[in-house]
Amino acid sequence: MSDFHISPSAIKGRGSASRVPHRFAVDDRANFDDGWPGDDEPSEITPPATTVRWEDAKSVIVRNDSPDIYFDYSINPYRGCEHGCVYCYARPTHSYLGLSPGLDFETILIAKRNLAEVLRGELAKPGYVPQLLNIGSATDCYQPVERQLRLTRSVLALMQETRHAFSLVTKSSGVERDLDIIAPMAAQHLAAVYVTITSLDGELTRQLEPRAASPQRRLRTVRTLVQAGVPVGVSVAPQIPFLNDDMEQVLAAARDAGATSAFYTVLRLPWELNDVFNEWLQLHHPQRAERVMARVREMRGGKNYDSDFASRMKGSGLWADLIAQRFQKACARLGLNRVRHELDLTQFRPAGALGQGHLF
């Protein structure tokens, strides 16, 4: 009997093409070609719909102790992300829910309905000390469902009430809808926004990030934020060998739009993400798939992934050094990262402390 497994077909509007089994699954099922005619896959696959499941969170502030991440606290209003970015390092977290890091991650979203209530309680604790806080560190806080659910806005409203400084990272133009909160806080050195622009190649980004805003739309968002007085940085992450090789062009376009800072990471493939990404490569770029993965392994000490804090974000070896040099030289030439926008943590007032007592 042949051991050939039928390759899944790309699904329009989705990054992953299958429900890659999560690492806790007992069974692993796959289509199998038995050689008999008439068993071909259907010519058209109905795109799976997005569903939202509610979650009552017990806590919402995640404390970061990783030395390679610049912020101390983070808040993620959602688990899973409809943007469907195939390289997303947060995909394996769906495994803890018994869901696939593949299609389930981008079609079954978990929303924390008591987010603002729990956050208010955490900010009101006597021992709470404000630190650098990032919103949307794992999944995008402005993914499409935010239009209806407005969980991110509820967090920002509480940040404004308590004068708690924050930064956020997004690929979405949805951040513009909350400028009435973000802009006044930015004027008080309490807010900064980072916009991720992986590439200026529209065709590539439609494959990599099928439900995220186009690169040109993200550049418009940068301009809009800058015009409103918000300090904006750009993330050119992740850098994927032989795919998004236009780092310098992205940085130049972001600088022209008003961004003043930038950062990058290289592709990292923890846990099931390795299978998700390799499946995507075989579907969309089969001729260069092995070449891409060979370079990834070169930056990871011969492995597909290395979790070492010293190298997991930027990689190691000659290829990683080349990317680092390109980034540093481009930033120096464009004047990026010359000024650091410090957020003011001294203005924080605990939740509930702004009542009548502040009148005396």
> The domain spanning residue 209 has which CATH number?
3.20.20.70
Is there a domain that residue 15 lies in?
no
Q: What is the pTM of this model?
A: 0.91
Ranges assigned E (strand) in 266-352:
none
Percent of the chain with pLDDT over 90: 81
152 or 351, higher pLDDT: 152
What pLDDT score does 68 carry?
Answer: 75
Q: What is the pLDDT of residues 214-238, one digit of tens each?
A: 999 999 999 999 999 999 999 999 9
Confidence band of 357 (pLDDT split at 50, 70, 90): very low
Cβ neighbours of 345 (radius 10 Å):
17
Is there a domain that residue 44 lies in?
no
Is there a domain that residue 65 lies in?
yes
Q: With 50 as the cut, is the pLDDT of residue 127 above it? A: yes
Q: What is the pLDDT of residues 29-82, one digit of tens each?
A: 655 555 666 555 554 557 789 999 999 999 999 998 888 787 899 999 999 999
Is there a domain that residue 14 lies in?
no
Of 280, 260, 258, 255, the residue nearest 269 (C-alpha): 280
Is there a domain that residue 206 lies in?
yes
Q: With 70 as the cut, is the pLDDT of residue 6 above it? A: no
Number of domains making up the chain = 1
What pLDDT score does 70 carry?
Answer: 79
Residue 78: strand pairing partners: 111
What pLDDT score does 26 carry?
Answer: 66
> Domain range spanning residue 93?
51-348
Is there a domain that residue 357 lies in?
no
What pLDDT score does 310 carry?
Answer: 85
- The CA distance from 63 to 193, in Å, is 20
Q: What is the pLDDT of residues 95-124, one digit of tens each?
A: 999 999 999 999 999 999 999 999 999 999
Is there a domain that residue 264 lies in?
yes
